[in-house]
Amino acid sequence: MARHHDLIIIGSGSGNSLVTPELEGLDIAIVEEGTFGGTCLNVGCIPTKMLVLPADRITEAHEARRLGVTVDSAPATVDWPAIRDRIFTNRIDEISAGGERYRRSQDFVTLYAARARFVGRRRLALDTGEEITADRVVVAAGSRADLLDVDGLDRVDPKRGVHTSDTIMRIDELPRRLAIVGGGFVACEFAHVFGALGVEVTQIQRSGALLRTEDAEISRRYTELSRGRHDLRLDTVVASASRSPEGTWTLGLMGRDGATDVEADAVLVAVGRTPNGARLDVEAGGIELDDWGVVRVDAQQRTTADGVWALGDVANSWQLKHVANHEARVVAHNVAVDAGRLPGEGPVEADHRFVPHAVFGHPQVAAFGPTRAELDEAGTPYVSYTQAFGDTAYGWALEDTTSILVVCADPDSGGIISAHCMGPDASTLIQPLIQAASFGQSAREVARGQYWIHPALAEVVENALLGLPLNDRLSR
């Protein structure tokens, strides 16, 4: 017989944060097939950014040459096991285990270490043989890394040097040569990390540029800078892969100029992520998927099945942790309302108006809102201004020649539509623009309604706003 709960949460990533004080005391089940804490904590945002930091330090030390400082002309000495263990043994694994212990200690929470799939409306079969049902279900099952439809690279095999982002960060020793397939967030961040740590990186990208969904100028500049750091193969796909008895991979590549090959000691496949909805048989639970396999949700994060909500990578195409967190807050509130835990309050809606992202490569890239090409295509009236970091006082200090911030605004109201940045600290620098857009502040209010610390890097933002050719142009 199926065990009945008040609430079932599938996935312990952002799903774990649903157990808010408002829901405490309900009979809650969390089903997790993998490591407690999900992608961001165990194999995503947090360990990657902990790896990016030492990579940044090495790169900055080399780049200090243009400031008249030579830290060391030889390659940096890298203690890979120390870097890896600082991240995983000393921090991530502790946090994951501690989180799991805490949930198991709560008598109103049942943690099932199992894979779930829907076999009916709010009815799940677990691979342990159990069945569970609930009044309410939240699907927070995330996404998984894609592999290649190429023999040898169609499954993860760390022992043979075939990795996705799930495994590459825990390797025992750095490979001498790493082939990275892909040109998106994951590929660019790891190319930066492993390149800086002294690995010879070859990056193979199907299209003609890296980060090709960014503003075209930023994608072009990032691609050019990467070309100076790695062996970059654009407009190229992997057609075949073979491994010698000594463990060297030879990837057969097919590019615009014909066939070539590349040798590597390990391969990282970073060609996108597939949402996990279909693998959960959600349709057996009355939950519809869209054409891309994303669980369909409305503004309240409700799926097409009564009493079932969804959030995060399984239910949106951004595949970003801050989006999953935001949606988790919306779902936690709406489930509490539904369960009668918030008398007098109604459901709330998710706000997806200004979703930002950042790629922690070298340099950093950060953006929100439509690119200029997308605005052109949609026929949206806008003006834009491109501010070079190098034309500001702090940019002079940095001797920066490549970094830019592009701001797009409504020509009449000065309302900020989008921003696209590539340069040092882009992920932090862009935040006042996200804030301005979110709160409906105009370029004029933001530029002239506050002090900007001189000569801080934030003057890049001030100058970009002042440069906008608005109909009612701002004066400097």
Ligand X SMILES: NC(=O)c1ccc[n+]([C@@H]2O[C@H](COP(=O)([O-])OP(=O)(O)OC[C@H]3O[C@@H](n4cnc5c(N)ncnc54)[C@H](O)[C@@H]3O)[C@@H](O)[C@H]2O)c1
Cα torsion angle, 96, 97, 102, 104, sign = positive
Distance from chain centroid for Cα 173? 25
Question: Could you say which of 142, 183, 414, 432 contacts ligand X (CB under 6 A)?
Answer: 183
Phi, psi of 403 (to 5 degrees): -85, 145
CA distance 161 to 249: 9
**Does position 322 bind ligand FAD by CB under 6 A?**
yes
- Could you give the count of Cα atoms lying within 13 Å of 192 in the half-sphere of its Cβ? 30
Q: How far is the CB of 124 from ligand FAD (least distance, A)?
A: 8
**Does position 181 bind ligand X by CB under 6 A?**
yes
Q: How far is the CB of 149 from ligand X (least distance, A)?
A: 8
Strand 131-139 with 123-126, pairing: antiparallel
| Window contacting ligand FAD (CB under 6 A); options: 70-78, 134-142, 243-251, 398-406 | 134-142
* C-beta of 318 vs 452, nearer to ligand FAD: 318
Q: Which helix (H) or strand (E) holds 250?
A: strand 249-255
| Window contacting ligand X (CB under 6 A); options: 180-188, 378-386, 432-440, 456-464 | 180-188
Distance from chain centroid for Cα 368? 13
**E-strand stretches of 121-236:** 123-126, 131-139, 143-145, 162-163, 177-181, 200-204, 231-233
CA distance 251 to 113: 38
Instruction: Confirm whether residue 189 is marked as ligand binding.
Output: yes
| Window contacting ligand X (CB under 6 A); options: 129-137, 199-207, 335-343, 408-416 | 199-207
**Does position 179 bind ligand X by CB under 6 A?**
no
* Residue 38: contacted member of ligand X, ligand FAD, none (CB under 5 to 8 Å, by partner type): ligand FAD
CA distance 141 to 39: 10
**Does position 206 bind ligand X by CB under 6 A?**
yes
**Does position 39 bind ligand FAD by CB under 6 A?**
yes
**Does position 13 bind ligand FAD by CB under 6 A?**
yes
Q: Is 420 one of the catalytic residues?
A: no
* C-beta of 210 vs 332, nearer to ligand X: 210
Question: Could you say which of 271, 328, 398, 404 contacts ligand X (CB under 6 A)?
Answer: 271
* C-beta of 319 vs 371, nearer to ligand X: 319
SS3 readout for 64-118: HHHHCCCCCCCCCCCCHHHHHHHHHHHHHHHHHHHHHHHHHHCCCEEEEECCEEE
Task: Note the residues at the interface with ligand X (CB under 6 A).
Answer: 148, 181-187, 189, 204-207, 237-238, 270-273, 318-320, 357-360
Residues labelled as active-site residues: 454
Binding residues: 49, 182-189, 272, 313
